[in-house]
Homo-oligomer: A and B are copies of this chain.
Amino acid sequence: MTERKPVLNRPEHEAKSPSRTTPEDGRVRRSKDLVMAATLELLTENGLGGVSVDEVARRSGVAKTTIYRHWPVRSALILDACTRLSSQHAAPDTGSFAGDLAALMGGMAQLLRTARWASVTPSIIDAAERDPDLATVHSRIQLEHSAPFQVIISRAVGSGDLPPQTDVQAMIADLLGPLYYRRWFSREPLDDAFVGGITERVLGRT
B174 & A174 in contact (Cβ 8 Å cutoff): yes
> A68 in the interface, Cβ–Cβ < 8 Å?
no
A-B contact pairs, 20 of them (CB 8 A): A47-B126, A49-B49, A119-B129, A122-B122, A122-B125, A122-B129, A125-B126, A142-B185, A167-B197, A169-B186, A169-B188, A170-B178, A170-B194, A173-B194, A173-B198, A174-B198, A174-B201, A176-B177, A176-B185, A177-B181
A204 & B201 in contact (Cβ 8 Å cutoff): no
- The one of B123, B169, B176, B205 in contact with A201, judged by C-beta atoms closer than 8 angstroms, is B205
The distance from the CB of A169 to the nearest CB of chain B, in whole angstroms, is 6
B181 & A125 in contact (Cβ 8 Å cutoff): no
CA distance A123 to B125 in the complex (A): 8
B182 & A173 in contact (Cβ 8 Å cutoff): yes
* Interface positions of A (Cβ within 8 A of B): 46-47, 49, 119, 122-123, 125-126, 129-130, 139, 142, 146, 167, 169-170, 172-174, 176-182, 184-188, 194, 197-198, 201, 204-205
CA distance A47 to B48 in the complex (A): 13
A185 & B129 in contact (Cβ 8 Å cutoff): no
CA distance A198 to B171 in the complex (A): 9
Residue from the set A119, A125, A185, A198 with the largest chain B CB neighbour count within 10 Å: A185
The distance from the CB of A26 to the nearest CB of chain B, in whole angstroms, is 37
The answer to whether residues A170 and B197 also contact, given A122-B126, A181-B180 and a CB cut-off of 8 A, is yes
Beyond the given A47-B126, A142-B185, could you list 16 further A-B residue pairs with CB under 8 A, ordered by the A residue number? A47-B130, A125-B126, A139-B187, A142-B187, A170-B194, A170-B198, A173-B177, A173-B182, A173-B194, A174-B177, A174-B178, A176-B177, A176-B181, A177-B178, A177-B181, A180-B180
Q: Which residue of B lies closest to A44 (CB)?
A: B129
Tell me whether chain A's interface is mostly helix, strand or loop, or mixed. helix
Chain B residues with CB below 8 A from A187, complex form: 139, 142
Chain B residues with CB below 8 A from A177, complex form: 173-174, 176-182
